Amino acid sequence: MAKSLPPYQPFLDHLLLVERLSARTIDSYGRDLKALNDWAQGQGLALEQLDTEALRCHLDWRASAGYKASSTARLMTAAKRYYGFLLQEKQRGDDPTAPLLRPRLARPLPKSISEADVEALLAAPNLEDPLGLRDKAMLELLYAAGLRISELVGLSRDCVNLRQGLVRVIGKGDKERIVPMGEEALHWLDQYLKYGRPELIRDGDVLFPSQRGQQMTRQTFWHRIKLHGQVAGLKSDLSPHTLRHAFATHLVNHGADLRVVQMLLGHADLSTTQIYTQVARERLKRFHEQHHPRG
């Protein structure tokens, strides 16, 4: 006797033949819909006829059973696509998932490093070498202004105003922001422009050229950061955004207003910046546990 196809098979066929999704994506949808279908059958219900209340019961059951929010969110995505397909094919007159909210996923804390580690990293470049002086100025500016590496390597000579101590940055969405550099970054940028940059480039507007006098790629400078991290003896895992996250974390730790940090980072939404308040709370919690007699 031939095995009957699951009720969601036409939907999977649609994803393959019409939307041409990858086999891996389709398999993921299939696993989630099978789990939902198995639960429905256990309740004496049909998958294609589940209503909002039944789906809400399923979500409650998953929560009580200890399923991760990320797993439930993925299942909800599959269910929304499936019932949207049934609605489109006029096999249902409503979408039972419409009133349901996806589980809120905890945002991972950004990786940062301590102020002492930052100091060690900033001290690593060889200042007797034009490339080392360039890297020193880049690292100081990266940390002082909270830039993305792509923003840093894309700077031109006219983006920095040494007299006012400001750098003009073109961020995501071609949005421009003006960020103060601070005295240390200003000093080392001045030293680099006087003694380092003329050895690397004669003509052109690139602020931080490569060894060949061209605009550096973000991958090249990321490689340079890792090399300096090794020289500094850092055991922390560095990421392309390490100094940007350190910039924001250290500002918040020292009491900076969150909206000021938002403006400096160029975040369009304050909620993106608010992750750093959680970083600060985690730091205070660890400090309490380590030093309080009843921690």
CATH number of the domain bearing residue 264: 1.10.443.10
What single letter denotes the amino acid at residue 209?
A: P
**Does the annotation count 267 as an active-site position?**
yes
- Annotated active-site residue in 62, 136, 241, 250: 241
Query: Confidence class of residue 278 from pLDDT cuts 50, 70 and 90?
Result: low
54 and 186 co-located in one domain? no
Mean pLDDT of 187-196: 95
Give tens-digit pLDDT for 128-143.
999 999 999 999 998 8
**Residue 1: pLDDT over 60:** no
224 and 154 co-located in one domain? yes
Q: Would residue 101 count as lying in a domain?
A: no
* Token pair belonging to 123: 């001290």
CA distance 139 to 137: 6
**Residue 287: pLDDT over 50:** no
**Does the annotation count 244 as an active-site position?**
yes
Give me the number of domains the chain comprises. 2
- Annotated active-site residue in 148, 224, 228, 245: 148
**Does the annotation count 134 as an active-site position?**
no
CATH number of the domain bearing residue 65: 1.10.150.130
Q: Would residue 3 count as lying in a domain?
A: no
Torsion region of 214: left, alpha or beta (phi above 0 gives left; psi -120 to 50 gives alpha): beta
**Does the annotation count 250 as an active-site position?**
no
Tokens 């970054």, residue?
185
Q: Would residue 102 count as lying in a domain?
A: no
**Residue 237: pLDDT over 70:** yes
What pLDDT sits at residue 21? Answer: 86
Mean pLDDT of 211-235: 91
123 and 170 co-located in one domain? yes
**Residue 282: pLDDT over 60:** no
What pLDDT sits at residue 270? Answer: 65
What pLDDT sits at residue 291? Answer: 44
What pLDDT sits at residue 289? Answer: 59
* Token pair belonging to 159: 């983006």
Mean pLDDT of 267-295: 56
What pLDDT sits at residue 106? Answer: 58
160 three-class SS:
strand
CA distance 150 to 221: 9
Q: CB-based burial of residue 107 (10 Å sphere; 0-12 exposed, 13-18 middle, 19+ buried)?
A: exposed
What pLDDT sits at residue 146? Answer: 84
- Annotated active-site residue in 134, 224, 228, 244: 244
Q: What is the DSSP letter of 190?
A: H
CA distance 192 to 202: 14
What pLDDT sits at residue 84? Answer: 94
Q: Give the number of other Cβ atoms within 10 Å of residue 207's Cβ.
A: 26
- Annotated active-site residue in 29, 82, 143, 276: 276
- 185 or 254: which carries more pLDDT confidence? 185
- 249 or 10: which carries more pLDDT confidence? 10
What single letter denotes the amino acid at residue 147?
A: L
Give tens-digit pLDDT for 53-83.
999 999 999 888 888 888 888 999 999 999 9
203 and 57 co-located in one domain? no
Give tens-digit pLDDT for 94-123.
999 999 877 766 566 556 788 888 899 999
The pTM for the full model equals 0.58
CA distance 81 to 86: 9
> Are 177 and 263 contacting, i.e. CB atoms less than 8 angstroms apart?
yes
**Does the annotation count 223 as an active-site position?**
no
- Annotated active-site residue in 172, 175, 223, 259: 172
Residue numbers of the domain that contains 42 = 9-88
74 and 215 co-located in one domain? no
148 and 282 co-located in one domain? yes
Q: How many residues does the chain have?
A: 295
> Are 221 and 153 contacting, i.e. CB atoms less than 8 angstroms apart?
yes
